[in-house]
Amino acid sequence: MRLIIIAVLIIFADQLSKYFVTSLMQAGESIPLIENFLHLTYVRNPGAAFGMLPYQKIFFIVITVVVVIFIIYYYRLLSADHRLLRFSLALLLGGAIGNLIDRLRSGYVIDFIDFKIWPPVFNIADSAIVIGIGLFLFAYWRDGSFKRSKEMS
């Protein structure tokens, strides 16, 4: 149940923020929040991170659906004491679905968080995915799962 609650919160925050950006800004418009550091920049990204593989809508939809199924499957395999791993999967699920909604609705992902010191513009779903991956790797390493899988081979 926690998986659903966390994922829904991520999806809600992501979609609400994108709604405001698309309602209040024009594509390509940039509003400085902290001059030369943090801007709101409305970008329509038809690709993956850094705009890679643009206009591959069906490919990204299929990959996302496969990832979502894997996340749900793996989450169900984890016992309740793997809280950090489970939390990381909930972040990944929410982020993946948030961007999937954009791709299904318009064929591109809406990005708007623009740190001028970091080239890509991103969104809340992207942030959840990156944080989720980092937490997943940390928790997986911390719990010794890498060691156990190496010993088995």
CA atoms of 88 and 10, how far apart (whole Å):
12
Helices of type H across 1-153: 2-24, 57-77, 83-106, 124-142, 145-152
Give 113-142 pLDDT, tens digit per residue.
Answer: 999 998 899 999 999 999 999 999 999 888
Active site residue 81: no
The one catalytic residue in 14, 102, 114, 126 is 126
User: Strands 109-115, 38-45: parallel, antiparallel or unpaired by DSSP?
Assistant: antiparallel
* Residue 153 lies inside a defined structural domain of this protein: no
Q: For position 149, what pLDDT does the model report?
A: 45
The pLDDT tens digits of the residues spanning 80-101 come to 889 999 999 999 999 999 999 9
Residue 79's domain comprises 2-146
Task: Flag whether 152 is in a domain.
Answer: no
What's the predicted TM-score (pTM) here? 0.89
Residue 86 resides in a domain: yes
In-domain check, residue 139: yes
Which CA distances in Å does 22 have to 94, 99, 109, 150?
A: 20, 15, 11, 47
- The overall longest dimension of the chain from CA atoms, in Å, is 55
What residues does 32 pair with on adjacent strands?
Answer: 39
Q: Which of 14, 102, 111, 114 is catalytic?
A: 111
143 is catalytic: no
Domain total of the chain: 1
